[in-house]
């Protein structure tokens, strides 16, 4: 258990824009920040962060909340883990009680897998630095690769003893469940026997963007031809290799700062680059590049530079990943190293200045690179040249941006010495084929959708829901503000007619709302709004220094998400940047009293309409008995509605 004082300290210290900025590239947008959603695939930003309110909202997925809610959604942390992560980030000490072995065993499965991986990470490092075998074999290997002590510690490199179940025995001794050891893949269970998966290997922990250990990569150091050189953790509840990039935890800030990401193949490539001084580098860990991996980078930058070694066959196999990067709307450059060198060996031989200069001078645009690579194969062969041209145009067709497409077609025409008209015609053919396939798929989906759609009645706008939601918004934003209100009181004039007379009063917004609703005996119809309303009124009543960001942190997750949605609803329109088109929306704070009065009056009008409708239904049910008192009430309510509508400047 973490003490309440520690939790309060974390919330007071953590800044939502700084924490989310480690995972998403944020750009200033007025008083807020915006960026691409980390929860869905999108090209236009719909993710907003409010430093003032210390909340965030993702309009594409509907998720939102405070800084802890983000970590729980994005990194799948538990609440205590999110607090611990923030405490570590801001160097805060937190008070907590130690978890017993029994508590570890009863933790939920996902959490248990994380705990097992963390234990294994610590164990492998301890073996590397504290045992004779670890120092003589594992540490010697890393030193031979040129890694310093600082680098070895920074990347948590380790060693697994060359014994059948040394790790498994130690984990069981510390109270970890064999089921979770098997599910993480650290232990292989066959019949009644148990084996360490990574026996006799140097260990590379694979971390998430927030630094949690998801799995491991292990390299064997013996010349055993039957054993694979590299072995990775199998897929598990916490490790999905297609969603992970090695080194992203250490590289994320540098990627955002440099606005570029270097993509390599292996663990040692990443580590050697880091040690040399280039930190914005990640690896696909030997797997084929996936859209999910590219989207991880896309949150931080639009620019990727793919680094290949001098092996031509390997390059041809790898250029398929370039099309995938282009499809995500990213800018791709390619850099190759001299034959016989890979990023690891080249970085080891050169200083930071030499390496940086080489990358700058040799990074080519993907068109130039692909053309030079494929043209080499198609010398003096017209058929192969035609295939090469089509291959390049096919890559260009993946680019979503039309202007970029045209520029690349012009560049391709120049390099390949072919007319732009032919290339544009080829591009049109490819696009036409893609459109036809997309239309076929769309029609098939639409057919299925129509069956469902025809069964669904059209939903009407729930006016009362909208108005009740608006009252909650007003209380959250301006509840503690003092305003001058103009009240309307019903009075009879000299002609015995009901008229509305204005009376001015000064009050806090929450007091005004509460008294008006109480006076009219108006109740919230939505249960969640009703709970939220009384919670806010109580908080405002009890605490004269009510702060919204503090309030969001003390309510439960569901209520917190609803509050965030309400508060950030208006902010989403700032994503459209109206000022750019010389449209300046009116600031709400300049007319809070008017907003409060109009919202309450609108709710009154709606409830009057509902009452009149009930009277009409009653009259229809009792056609034979025309109730004069009912007609009188209808007349009175209609007259009152007319008066209120005049005040609202509405025409009836």
Do residues 170 and 137 make contact, with C-beta atoms less than 8 angstroms apart? no
pLDDT at 651: 38
Do residues 120 and 166 make contact, with C-beta atoms less than 8 angstroms apart? no
pLDDT at 650: 44
pLDDT at 2: 81
* Mean of pLDDT over the chain: 82
Instruction: For residues 76 and 238, give the distance between their C-alpha atoms in angstroms, rounded to a whole number.
Output: 9
The domains located in the chain, with CATH, are 4-89 (3.90.580.10), 101-238 (3.90.980.10), 248-428 (3.40.1360.10), 463-574+588-647 (no CATH)
The residue among 489 and 112 whose pLDDT is bigger is 112
Predicted confidence (pLDDT) per residue in 430-449, tens digit? 877 665 665 566 566 556 55
The residue among 533 and 557 whose pLDDT is bigger is 533
Reply yes or no on whether the pLDDT at 652 is more than 60.
no
Reply yes or no on whether the pLDDT at 584 is more than 50.
no
pLDDT at 106: 52
- List Cβ<8 Å contacts ≥24 apart for 493-496: none
Closest CA to 563 of 64, 217, 204: 64
Instruction: For residues 260 and 436, give the distance between their C-alpha atoms in angstroms, rounded to a whole number.
Output: 35
Q: Could you tell me the pLDDT band of residue 111, with boundaries at 50, 70 and 90?
A: confident
Reply yes or no on whether the pLDDT at 297 is more than 60.
yes
pTM for this prediction: 0.69
For residues 32-37, average pLDDT: 90
List the structure tokens of 450: 């129509």
Which DSSP letter does residue 2 get?
Answer: B
pLDDT at 391: 82
Give per-residue burial for 579-603: e unless 16+ CB within 10 Å, then b: eeeeeeeeeeeeebbebbbebbbbb
The residue among 327 and 346 whose pLDDT is bigger is 346
- Counting residues of the chain whose pLDDT is more than 90, the rounded percentage is 31
Of 433-437, 443-447, 596-600, 647-651, the range with the lowest mean pLDDT is 647-651
Reply yes or no on whether the pLDDT at 580 is more than 60.
no
Reply yes or no on whether the pLDDT at 201 is more than 90.
yes
DSSP 168-230: HHHHHHTT--HHHHHHTTSEEEETTEEEETTTTEEEEEEE-TTS-EEEEEEEE-S--TTS-SE
pLDDT at 316: 62
For residues 610-638, average pLDDT: 64
Query: CB neighbours of 89 closer than 8 A, spacing ≥ 6?
Result: 14, 19
Closest CA to 331 of 339, 322, 340: 322
Query: CB neighbours of 184 closer than 8 A, spacing ≥ 6?
Result: 113, 116, 117, 120, 215, 233, 236, 238, 239
Q: Could you tell me the pLDDT band of residue 642, with boundaries at 50, 70 and 90?
A: low
pLDDT at 500: 66
How far does the chain reach from its first CA to its final CA, in angstroms? 60
Q: Could you tell me the pLDDT band of residue 349, with boundaries at 50, 70 and 90?
A: very high
Of 17-21, 28-32, 99-103, the range with the lowest mean pLDDT is 99-103
For residues 32-48, average pLDDT: 87
Reply yes or no on whether the pLDDT at 306 is more than 50.
yes
Q: Could you tell me the pLDDT band of residue 461, with boundaries at 50, 70 and 90?
A: low
List the structure tokens of 224: 């055993």
pLDDT at 291: 87
For residues 93-119, average pLDDT: 76
Q: Could you tell me the pLDDT band of residue 176, with boundaries at 50, 70 and 90?
A: very high
Residue carrying the six token digits 């933790």: 107
The residue among 318 and 30 whose pLDDT is bigger is 30
Do residues 256 and 300 make contact, with C-beta atoms less than 8 angstroms apart? yes
Burial of 392 by CB count in 10 Å (0-12 exposed, 13-18 middle, 19+ buried)? buried
Predicted confidence (pLDDT) per residue in 496-541, tens digit? 776 767 778 888 888 888 888 877 677 788 888 888 888 888 888 8
Instruction: For residues 333 and 319, give the distance between their C-alpha atoms in angstroms, rounded to a whole number.
Output: 11
Of 5-14, 196-205, 463-472, 599-608, the range with the lowest mean pLDDT is 599-608
Of 48-62, 118-132, 503-517, the range with the lowest mean pLDDT is 503-517
pLDDT at 638: 63
pLDDT at 166: 96
Residue carrying the six token digits 């008066």: 643
């Amino acid at each position: 258990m973490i003490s309440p004082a520690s939790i309060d300290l974390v919330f007071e210290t953590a800044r939502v824009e700084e924490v989310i900025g480690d995972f998403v590239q944020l750009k200033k947008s007025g008083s807020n920040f915006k960026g691409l959603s980390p929860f869905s695939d999108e090209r236009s930003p719909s993710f907003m962060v409010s430093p003032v309110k210390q909340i965030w909202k993702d309009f594409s997925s509907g998720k939102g909340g405070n800084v802890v809610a983000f970590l729980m959604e994005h990194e799948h942390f538990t609440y205590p883990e999110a607090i611990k992560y923030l405490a570590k980030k801001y160097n805060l000490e937190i008070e907590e009680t130690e978890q017993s072995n029994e508590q570890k065993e009863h933790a939920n499965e996902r959490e248990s897998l994380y705990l097992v991986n963390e234990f294994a990470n610590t164990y492998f490092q301890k073996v590397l630095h504290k045992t004779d075998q670890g120092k003589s074999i594992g540490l010697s290997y890393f030193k031979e690769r040129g890694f310093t002590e600082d680098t070895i510690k920074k990347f948590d490199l380790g060693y697994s003893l060359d014994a059948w179940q040394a790790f498994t025995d130690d984990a069981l001794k510390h109270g970890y469940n064999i089921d979770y050891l098997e599910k993480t893949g650290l232990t292989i269970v066959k019949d009644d026997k148990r084996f360490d998966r990574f026996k006799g290997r140097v260990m590379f922990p694979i971390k998430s963007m927030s630094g949690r250990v998801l799995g491991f990569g292990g390299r064997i150091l013996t010349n055993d031809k039957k054993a694979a050189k590299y072995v990775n953790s199998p897929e598990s509840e916490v490790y999905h290799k297609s969603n992970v990039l090695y080194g992203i935890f250490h590289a994320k800030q540098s990627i955002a700062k440099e606005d570029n990401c270097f993509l390599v193949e292996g663990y040692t490539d990443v580590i050697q680059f880091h040690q040399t001084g280039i930190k914005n580098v990640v690896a696909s860990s030997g797997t084929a590049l996936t859209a999910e991996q590219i989207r991880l980078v896309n949150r931080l930058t639009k620019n990727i530079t793919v680094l290949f070694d001098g092996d031509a066959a390997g390059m041809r196999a790898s250029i398929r990943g370039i099309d995938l990067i282009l499809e995500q709307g990213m800018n791709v450059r390619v850099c190759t190293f001299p034959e016989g060198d890979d990023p690891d060996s080249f970085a080891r031989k050169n200083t930071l200045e030499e390496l940086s200069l080489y990358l700058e001078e040799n990074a080519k645009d993907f068109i130039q690179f692909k053309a030079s690579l494929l043209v080499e194969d198609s010398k003096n062969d017209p058929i192969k040249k035609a295939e090469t041209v089509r291959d390049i145009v096919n890559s260009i067709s993946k680019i979503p941006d039309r202007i970029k497409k045209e520029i690349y077609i012009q560049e391709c025409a120049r390099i390949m010495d072919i007319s732009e008209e032919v290339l544009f015609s080829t591009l049109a053919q490819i696009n036409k084929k893609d459109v036809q396939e997309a239309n076929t798929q769309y029609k098939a989906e639409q057919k299925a959708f129509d069956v469902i759609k025809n069964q669904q009645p059209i939903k009407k706008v729930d006016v009362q829901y909208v108005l009740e939601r608006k009252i909650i918004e007003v209380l959250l934003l301006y509840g503690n503000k003092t305003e001058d209100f103009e009240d309307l009181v019903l009075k009879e004039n000299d002609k015995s007619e009901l008229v509305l007379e204005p009376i001015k009063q000064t009050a806090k917004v929450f007091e005004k709302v509460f008294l008006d609703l109480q006076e009219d005996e108006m109740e919230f119809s939505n249960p969640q709004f009703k709970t939220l309303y009384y919670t806010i009124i109580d908080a405002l009543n009890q605490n004269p220094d009510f702060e919204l960001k503090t309030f969001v942190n003390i309510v439960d997750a569901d209520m917190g998400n609803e509050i965030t949605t309400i508060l950030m609803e208006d902010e989403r329109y700032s994503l459209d940047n109206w000022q750019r088109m010389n449209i300046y929306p009116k600031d709400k704070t300049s007319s809070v009293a008017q907003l409060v009065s109009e919202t309450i009056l609108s709710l009154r009008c709606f409830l009057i309409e509902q009452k009149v409708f009930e009277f009409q239904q009653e009259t229809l049910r009792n056609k034979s008995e025309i109730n004069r008192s009912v007609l009188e009430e209808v007349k009175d309510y209609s007259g009152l509605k007319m008066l209120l509508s005049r005040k609202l400047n509405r025409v009836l």
